[in-house]
Structure 1
Amino acid sequence: MDSAALLDILGNENRRRILRLLSHKPCYVTEISDYLGVSPKAVIDHLRKLEEAGLVESRTDDQRRKYFHISRNLRLEVDVSPYEFGMKSAYPASASLDVSACRYLSLEVEMDGNGDEVIVNEQGACEETTTASDDALDDENVDEIAVLAEQLNCLEELKGELSLAQRWVHGRITDVLDSLSEAVDGDDEGHLRAEILAALAAGAETISEVSEEVRAPDHVVERQLSGMADQGVVERDGDRWALSA
């Protein structure tokens, strides 16, 4: 879909809230309606537009209820500056992409226990240049213009490489969340549990902190944490939660 049309679709707050909810788990219309506080008819209209954009798909369960879920990874990038306005949408880069081969993007890559690449640090390789004073000689100004032009070209290429690296990371995050979701349970709420575990790993401790991180209601987070505590995945100390050692 055209990036501008996609941006128009995502400009609606309720459609963004639907996608945020579906990023936690697949839902049927009544669940979405209760979550948004809008009529099922309005929800169906939003879902239709999201389906037409290729962002959402549906499936029918054994009770013939239609569940909706996010269909694919998609990254939308918007650039706004005094010199540029542009949009582009792209699928994640292949997991086999050798990001360390980027010309301008310097990456320190380590291997994890499974042989997968993990980005540890990234740093742009373009160098800064000093500007000449107003009373500089003409040929020095010419030299400065040439240096600035080269730097601009370098930064444009770095920008492209950063975009490619972000797409690669986007895809890898989804792969890791899928694996984590399957490891903790693998049911429809596995993605939410995976995000909760990631929030705990990032330093969130209380239910309110985790809720803010994963953008889910406190009672939902508490229920998920209690379930994972029964499995021995997390542990509780008063009102604080942590990953089990």
Structure 2
Amino acid sequence: MLDPIELLDILGNENRRRILQLLSFRPFYFNEMAKRLDVGPKAVIDHLEMLERAGLVECYQEQGRRKYFRIARRTVLEVAVSPHSYGVRAYLSEDAPKDDSGFEEAEASLDLKMLKDELLGLEKKRYELRELLAQIESREMEIKQRASSVAGFRAENQLESEIMTALLCGGANSSELATRLEVPEAVVLDSLNKLKERSAVHLRGQQWSI
């Protein structure tokens, strides 16, 4: 016989509820659950032993391999609270009271509401992400414009300014800069060396950088 008070105590722990939620998708072995839930293996084993004693989960082993855990049976725990009464009961789905024909419908409605709330939450995060991306792009444009202006002060001609602007987004070799600016590499290399003499750019190996 199921003890509803004991089940309430067991389900009062968040990690045990998370384990049951995880097992509702498919069987898991304990180390896999520990990684998924970011909980220590010893704690997961303790929780599983308690859930197993309560008859909520069971373990099995496939051909001598690791032990897997799964939901043992469909268990229903009901709590009824009103201004003048309080009641708790637990039963297996096959032992469901005859007058509880609407339970599955109510459970489905609850699942649908949870899914809807999760979708709304994801949509909110997507909107926040778009806003953040727009702010990043705007700030990036401001920085590039300011950096380009500062680079212009250190450059003695248009090509040097374009070279320094191109290097703002990261190092490059002379060949890459020549291709990007559509200027002969020899001309680009000459400008780079002049900028280097004025300490406007630096050369590390084959890479030029600001």
Higher helix proportion: 2
Q: TM-score, normalised by structure 1?
A: 0.41
Higher strand proportion: 1
Q: TM-score, normalised by structure 2?
A: 0.48
Greater Cα radius of gyration, structure 1 or 2: 2
